[in-house]
């Protein structure tokens, strides 16, 4: 596919420099996600001689081969891989018939993804989201801001910090570039940053979205300072009490609703001191007769006692998200947060009658977010804006949910996860990868592919395809199946109908080789997990007061450990954690607190539910009935 070169400042330069006459873009899917022409902003300063000018974002790749330029975008740093989404849970509120299915919402429900956001975004349709808010991990040093502590989060932290600030920016740029493709032409992207990297991120975002400047240019619109007083205070520097929020629009037309966010200030503006922390100041109230807030927002950060607080340091206040969502979107619009953490963005979006997409690579974050949405819907009774939502896994798949799939769906899923194309022409050939036919065994993890399956598949590929190669994918192979495949292969050089079969166990490295070999960081992107085994003991301490002990629970996954436990002490058909019991950490060690105390409000029969996540992405909810005395 060949494109006009003129609109690309960077290409104009490269074309001349590299003496090429063709430019090729390698992926027509993302055709309209371009970086803007930066010519006016980046002019070669002749009087300084040939200084290097970096007008392309860090990590952006332009390859030249045989007088042809190939734009590989960020794919050198992060090669593309496609894997299927696994719906592990649908939370139904009984109103799903109202909502149409679209390419972004194929199930008609809002979507909460567990997985790496770059790869997930690459599988979502262009021009489909109205507003993206992100609060990515700050650039603050190795493991420093690991929040939830499961393996996927920790692994990604070590990837991000490789190469210091440039490495962090390349990691972020690849994601920002995808976001630009996903937002609609009137859409916005809002990035929440702190002092560590906000200025570097702005430079990169200017390159990806445009420098903005005037109303006719796409790109940068506002740098908003979120200031607050809460939290600790050092003595030798001015306390760092602001974050920087960068707002970009995709084009020169954008949604901005001033009216719903008009405010009026109340109070003296004086400080209110509580212990060592300054917790308050001038307060504002929404007032339609007030003014549109300035580009500095005095919104209190969450103090340790705030009711909405879940218990991890980077949780953003609802009031902040309310202002962002009201200002940059309309009712019914689609709001996305690809670094969702504890779910502030979708919770507020849900409450403000917007549809939403959310994503996190931590299974704990996904569990906390799901809980938060259920609570918003139950507390407000707000059934508008698609109350149903689905939890979808990308890359880390739950075995029991796979086992429940009907045979055809299971086979399609496995073929896709193996990087193949499903087929439905012959009962024994379920797909193909690079023209090699694939057979998939049955869904039950205890099943085995037998000698008979091997013989039938070999016959089918020889007869139907006149091929000598095939791949069998299954949980297990019986010893005689392996032997049969060896006999078939040994006929090579003796007979023309020899068949060489690869027998690949789904849990072996061979199955995910197509992902692992693309990039060293991808080695754990594709795996199958079991839910943990949950064991709960309880003991009465005094009237209505009980101790619950889940410390005997075990992860059934390799290198697995229990990473978090959530409790619902009054379970009624739907798991919603009891306030203060969704993310409990031991104050000294920071490790998950597996033994908890609870004071029931009265005696009688109660149903308790306990949801346990391990550090490999496994999750299980256990329910038990108890007579409180």
Query: Of residues 172, 365, 396, 429, which one binds ligand SAM by CB under 6 A?
Result: 365
Q: Is 315 in the site for ligand SAM (CB under 6 A)?
A: yes
Query: Of residues 58, 147, 182, 550, which one binds ligand SAM by CB under 6 A?
Result: 147
Quote the least distance from Cβ 243 to ligand SAM, whole Å. 11
Give CA–CA dist 337/110, Å, rounded: 12
Q: Is 137 in the site for ligand SAM (CB under 6 A)?
A: yes
Do 95 and 44 meet the contact criterion of CB atoms below 8 Å apart? no
Stretch touching ligand SAM by CB under 6 A, among 222-230, 359-367, 433-441, 560-568: 359-367
φ/ψ region of 352 (left if φ > 0, alpha if ψ in -120 to 50, else beta) reads: alpha
- b (16+ CB within 10 A) / e for 302-316: bbeeeeebbebebbb
Query: Of residues 187, 212, 218, 341, which one binds ligand SAM by CB under 6 A?
Result: 341
Q: Is 149 in the site for ligand SAM (CB under 6 A)?
A: no
Query: Of residues 187, 219, 300, 342, which one binds ligand SAM by CB under 6 A?
Result: 342
Q: Is 398 in the site for ligand SAM (CB under 6 A)?
A: no
Q: Is 582 in the site for ligand SAM (CB under 6 A)?
A: no
Q: Is 512 in the site for ligand SAM (CB under 6 A)?
A: no
Nearest residue to the partner ligand SAM, using Cβ: 341
Q: Which of 360, 453 has the CB closer to ligand SAM?
A: 360
Quote the least distance from Cβ 597 to ligand SAM, whole Å. 26
Neighbours of 170 (CB within 10 A): 21
Stretch touching ligand SAM by CB under 6 A, among 30-38, 339-347, 530-538, 585-593: 339-347
Residues 6+ apart with CB under 8 A from 50: none
Show contacts with ligand SAM in window 173-202 (CB under 6 A): none
Instruction: For CA atoms 338, 343, 347, 350, give the dihedral sign.
Output: positive
Q: Is 359 in the site for ligand SAM (CB under 6 A)?
A: yes
Q: Is 362 in the site for ligand SAM (CB under 6 A)?
A: yes
Stretch touching ligand SAM by CB under 6 A, among 206-214, 353-361, 374-382, 517-525: 353-361
Comparing C-alpha atoms, which of 565, 547, 556, 543 is closest to residue 609?
A: 565
DSSP symbols for 475-534? S-B-HHHHHHHHHHHHTTTT-TT--EEEEEETTSTTTTHHHHTT-GGGTTSSEEEPPPBP
Residues 6+ apart with CB under 8 A from 183: 127, 129, 130, 131, 132, 189, 250
Quote the least distance from Cβ 529 to ligand SAM, whole Å. 17
Query: Of residues 55, 75, 91, 116, which one binds ligand SAM by CB under 6 A?
Result: 116
Q: Which of 39, 196 has the CB closer to ligand SAM?
A: 196
- β-pair type (272-274, 277-280): antiparallel
Give CA–CA dist 112/350, Å, rounded: 13
Q: Is 117 in the site for ligand SAM (CB under 6 A)?
A: yes
Do 335 and 346 meet the contact criterion of CB atoms below 8 Å apart? yes
Stretch touching ligand SAM by CB under 6 A, among 340-348, 573-581, 600-608, 619-627: 340-348
Query: Of residues 15, 111, 316, 430, which one binds ligand SAM by CB under 6 A?
Result: 316
Give the count of residues interacting with ligand SAM (CB under 6 A): 20
Quote the least distance from Cβ 535 to ligand SAM, whole Å. 28
φ/ψ region of 603 (left if φ > 0, alpha if ψ in -120 to 50, else beta) reads: beta
Query: Of residues 55, 75, 91, 135, which one binds ligand SAM by CB under 6 A?
Result: 135
SS3 content of the chain, % helix, strand, coil (to 5): 25, 30, 45
- Half-sphere exposure of residue 318: CA atoms within 13 angstroms, side-chain side: 15
Do 413 and 86 meet the contact criterion of CB atoms below 8 Å apart? yes
The SS3 call for residue 602 is coil
Task: Burial-class residue 187 by CB neighbours within 10 Å (0-12, 13-18, 19+).
Answer: buried
Q: Which of 177, 418 has the CB closer to ligand SAM?
A: 177
Query: Of residues 38, 86, 151, 156, which one binds ligand SAM by CB under 6 A?
Result: 156
Do 130 and 329 meet the contact criterion of CB atoms below 8 Å apart? yes
Quote the least distance from Cβ 181 to ligand SAM, whole Å. 17
Q: Is 361 in the site for ligand SAM (CB under 6 A)?
A: yes
Query: Of residues 55, 91, 153, 392, which one binds ligand SAM by CB under 6 A?
Result: 153
Quote the least distance from Cβ 166 to ligand SAM, whole Å. 17
- Helix boundaries (H) for 295-354: 318-328, 344-351
Q: Is 471 in the site for ligand SAM (CB under 6 A)?
A: no
By CB under 6 A, name the binding residues for ligand SAM. 116-117, 135, 137, 147-148, 153, 156, 314-316, 339, 341-342, 344, 359-362, 365
């Amino acid at each position: 596919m060949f494109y006009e070169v003129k609109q690309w400042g960077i290409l104009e330069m490269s074309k001349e420099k590299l003496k090429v006459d063709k430019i090729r873009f390698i992926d027509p899917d993302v055709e309209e996600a371009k970086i803007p022409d930066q010519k006016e902003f980046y002019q070669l300063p002749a009087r300084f001689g040939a200084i290097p000018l970096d007008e392309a974002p860090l990590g952006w790749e332009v390859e030249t081969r045989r007088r042809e330029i190939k734009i590989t975008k960020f794919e050198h740093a992060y090669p593309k891989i496609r894997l299927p989404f696994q719906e592990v849970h649908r939370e139904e509120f009984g109103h799903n018939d109202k909502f149409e299915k679209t390419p972004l919402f194929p199930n008609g429900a809002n979507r909460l993804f567990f997985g790496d956001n770059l790869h997930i975004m690459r599988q979502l349709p262009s021009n489909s989201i109205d507003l993206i808010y992100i609060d990515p991990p700050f650039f603050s040093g190795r493991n420093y801001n690991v929040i939830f502590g499961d393996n996927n989060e920790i692994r990604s932290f070590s990837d991000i910090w490789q190469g210091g600030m440039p490495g962090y920016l390349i990691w972020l740029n690849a994601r920002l570039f995808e976001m630009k493709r996903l937002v609609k032409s009137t859409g916005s992207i809002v990035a929440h940053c702190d002092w560590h990297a906000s200025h570097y991120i702005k430079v990169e975002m200017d390159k990806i979205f445009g420098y903005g400047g005037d109303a006719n240019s796409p790109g940068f619109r506002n740098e908003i300072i979120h200031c607050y007083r809460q939290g600790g205070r050092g003595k030798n520097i001015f306390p760092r009490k602001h974050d920087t929020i960068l707002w970009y629009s995709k084009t020169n037309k954008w949604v901005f609703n001033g009216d719903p966010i008009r405010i009026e200030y109340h109070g003296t503006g004086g400080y209110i001191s509580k212990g060592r922390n300054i917790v308050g100041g001038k307060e504002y109230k929404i007032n339609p007769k007030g003014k549109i807030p300035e580009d500095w927002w005095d919104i209190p950060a969450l103090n340790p006692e705030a009711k909405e607080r879940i218990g991890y340091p980077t949780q953003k206040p609802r009031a902040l998200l309310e202002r962002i969502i009201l200002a940059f979107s309309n009712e019914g619009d689609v709001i996305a947060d690809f670094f969702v953490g504890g779910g502030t963005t979708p919770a507020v979006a849900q409450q403000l009658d917007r549809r939403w997409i959310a994503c996190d690579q931590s299974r704990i974050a996904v569990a906390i977010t799901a809980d938060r949405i259920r609570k918003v819907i139950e507390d407000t009774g707000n059934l508008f804006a698609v109350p149903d939502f689905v939890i979808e896994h990308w890359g880390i798949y739950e075995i029991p949910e796979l086992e429940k799939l009907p045979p055809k769906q299971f086979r399609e899923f496995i073929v896709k996860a193996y990087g193949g194309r499903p087929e439905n022409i012959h009962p024994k050939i379920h797909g193909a990868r690079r023209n090699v036919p694939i057979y998939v065994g049955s869904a039950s993890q205890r099943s085995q592919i037998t000698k008979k399956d091997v013989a039938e598949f070999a016959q089918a590929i020889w007869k139907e395809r006149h091929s000598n190669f095939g791949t069998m994918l299954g949980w297990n192979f019986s010893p005689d199946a392996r032997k049969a495949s060896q006999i078939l292969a040994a006929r090579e050089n003796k007979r023309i109908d020899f068949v060489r079969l690869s027998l690949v166990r789904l849990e072996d490295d061979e199955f995910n080789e197509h992902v692992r070999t693309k990039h060293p960081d991808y080695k754990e992107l594709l795996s199958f997990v079991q839910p943990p085994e949950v064991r709960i003991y309880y003991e009465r301490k005094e009237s209505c007061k009980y101790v619950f002990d889940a410390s005997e629970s075990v992860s059934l996954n390799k290198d697995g450990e229990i990473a978090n436990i959530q409790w619902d002490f009054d379970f009624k058909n739907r798991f919603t954690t009891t306030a203060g019991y969704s993310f409990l950490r031991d104050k000294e060690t920071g490790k998950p607190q597996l033994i908890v105390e609870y004071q029931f409000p009265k005696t009688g029969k109660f149903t308790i539910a306990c949801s346990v996540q391990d550090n490999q992405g496994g999750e299980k909810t256990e329910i038990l009935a108890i007579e409180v005395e």
